A and B are shown apart, each in its own frame.
Chain A
Amino acid sequence: MSLEVDIRHRLGAFSVEAAFSANKGVTALFGRSGSGKTSLINIIAGLMRPGSGRLAFNGDVLFDGEKRVFVPAHKRRFGYVFQEARLFPHLSVRRNLGYGRWFARRSHSGADFNRIVDLLGVGALLDRAPANLSGGEKQRIAIGRALLSNPRLLLMDEPMAALDEERKAEILPYLERLRDEADIPIIYVSHSVAEVARLATKVIILENGRVSASGDAATILSQPSSTISRREAGVVIDGIVEATDAEHQITVIRAGQAEIRVPDLHAASGKGVRLQIAARDVMLATSRPEGLSALNILPATIIGIGEPAQGMVDIRLDCGDVTIVSRVTTLSRDMLGLHAGKPVYAIIKSVALDL
């Protein structure tokens, strides 16, 4: 299953020109606001007609500028979860969820309905009116409504942007389950590194309407990019849950030869997890520190030192087959005499890795 996108669209002085493909798993369209993410996803959904180009799903042509083909949104069978839930105010939650089922070609069994209601944990809300739901609940219903329309592809446009941190934390696990259990491609628009790091399989970075980088999520998010804000810059690494310390609620994750301790993830051993380690959360020491509360003290070798910017430098470290970036001031660099090849210790507070 794959979506092939190659479109050009002009909006006044701004233009979007993007070519990429999306397969099973989560493809994140990542970019700052105004980078053309929403235009692009609306074009994919069929809510906007691009100027020229081609759009196809599994060989089924949805738009072809030259041949003047344009399949309207309601015939594409692409589910769409918007930034705001957009629930129908005149229908109950149950009827909102069921709305797309009317139009789905394959009639769904009740089992499907129950499975998705369970997946999203909305069983208790079915007879409520949308007005009486919290933001997080509304968004879960919107996700369920899109899934129950039996889509071939799921589009999500910053589904958590309008939610506060607590609500985000409430929805993220559902999105992860969705990624792991649904076997349709998901296109996820976001400007948050943390969200993308946690959910995406593949990342496409959009800048000024153009694709500036695309590829495997861990690789793309670990590269320096103008789209990733300085505060969020760092690395994304893939690891495996190795053990859980139930008493202290600590999960141990193995990535390469490094063991990283994070607050309890409630995940089974052997489960793959992705960690985002911001460069500003990584400290360096030239000798192994004693009497420190930080749980992660990783022996490392400096691979390279970046260009100083505003008195700070990014230092790339090899921590046993895993690359981590640490940001220190140029003063620290000079005081510690840091240079490529020097052995050091990278120190990361577990608390900074709270997912």
Chain B
Amino acid sequence: MDWLALSDAEWTAIRLSLRVSFVAMIVSLPFAIGIAMLLARGRFWGKSVLNGLVHLPLILPPVVTGFLLLILFGKRGPIGAFLAEYTGIVFSFRWTGAALACAVMAFPLMVRSIRLSIEAVDRRLEQAASTLGAGPFWVFLTVTLPLVLPGIIAGMVLAFAKAMGEFGATITFVSNIPGETQTLSSAIYTFTQVPGGDAGAFRLTLISIVISMAALMVSEVLANVAAKKVDAA
């Protein structure tokens, strides 16, 4: 069973992948809720443009998305330079860049899931809450958000799974640097490019199957708990 033992480099890739995916999921969540709310409820000029922009990474070749990120968020890119100067956050060739690439790629899935569940919320319940004295903020926090929770959880899991599997945009934007930007997918890719790397590729493949299955099962459990509360309507 020796061939199943993971090397340090492989462990590093696993840990990095988990961290990148988790950060991508958590950081994009508030934005996803905001955008989903806008798309579900808002009536404004340019809504279809916003909708298109959000969904673009789903349709564009990942290489193109990665290249656009490189141009915008690279060291000399307009946004990258600004952020580096004023917040100290650097994306290019860092794990943070990998997280950004994963977040952008997973964003449409997360927004879509949350948006659908916002659209399913019975607005008459929100009206009832407002007649009971709850202002818009409290209505959102105490009625809308709890009812949307199953959709949010589903969106988070989808985003996490998508981030775990992201490859094209990440490798284009932040390359494949072991210990910094080499995620599980990039590591598997690297193994397949060298002679005798099959065993390593296979080990990491097993790991990614286990992680994906675990994520799905956790989401099932969470969604069941949330749905039980909501379905008690």
Contact = CB atoms under 8 A, between A and B. Distances in A.
Contacts of B146: 90
A86 B122 CA distance: 9
| Complex A-B, nearest 10 residue pairs according to Cβ-Cβ distance, in ascending order | A103-B133, A89-B233, A100-B132, A129-B232, A80-B131, A131-B232, A86-B128, A73-B130, A90-B146, A74-B130
Interface in B16-32: none
Interface of B: 122, 124-125, 127-136, 138-139, 142-143, 146-147, 229-233
A63 interface: no
A73 B232 contact: no
Contact of A149 (B127, B133, B142): B133
Contacts, number: 81
A3 interface: no
Given A90-B147, A130-B233, A131-B232, A80 B128 contact: yes
30 contacts: A46-B131, A47-B127, A72-B130, A73-B127, A74-B131, A74-B132, A74-B133, A74-B134, A74-B135, A75-B135, A76-B131, A79-B131, A79-B132, A82-B124, A84-B124, A86-B127, A88-B128, A88-B143, A89-B125, A89-B232, A89-B233, A90-B147, A90-B229, A90-B232, A99-B132, A99-B134, A102-B138, A103-B134, A146-B132, A155-B131
Which of B129, B133, B230 counts the most chain A CB atoms within 10 A?
B133
A104 interface: yes
A7 B142 CA distance: 33
Interface in A63-96: 72-80, 82, 84, 86-90
A51 B23 CA distance: 49
Nearest to A47: B127
Contact of A130 (B135, B136, B232): B232
A102 B143 CA distance: 14
Contacts of A90: 146-147, 229-230, 232
Contacts of B127: 47, 73, 86
Given A74-B135, A79-B131, A130-B233, 20 more contacts: A45-B131, A46-B131, A73-B127, A74-B130, A74-B136, A74-B139, A75-B135, A82-B124, A86-B122, A90-B229, A99-B132, A99-B142, A102-B134, A103-B133, A129-B232, A131-B232, A146-B131, A149-B132, A149-B133, A155-B131
Interface of A: 45-47, 72-80, 82, 84, 86-90, 99-100, 102-104, 129-132, 145-146, 149, 155
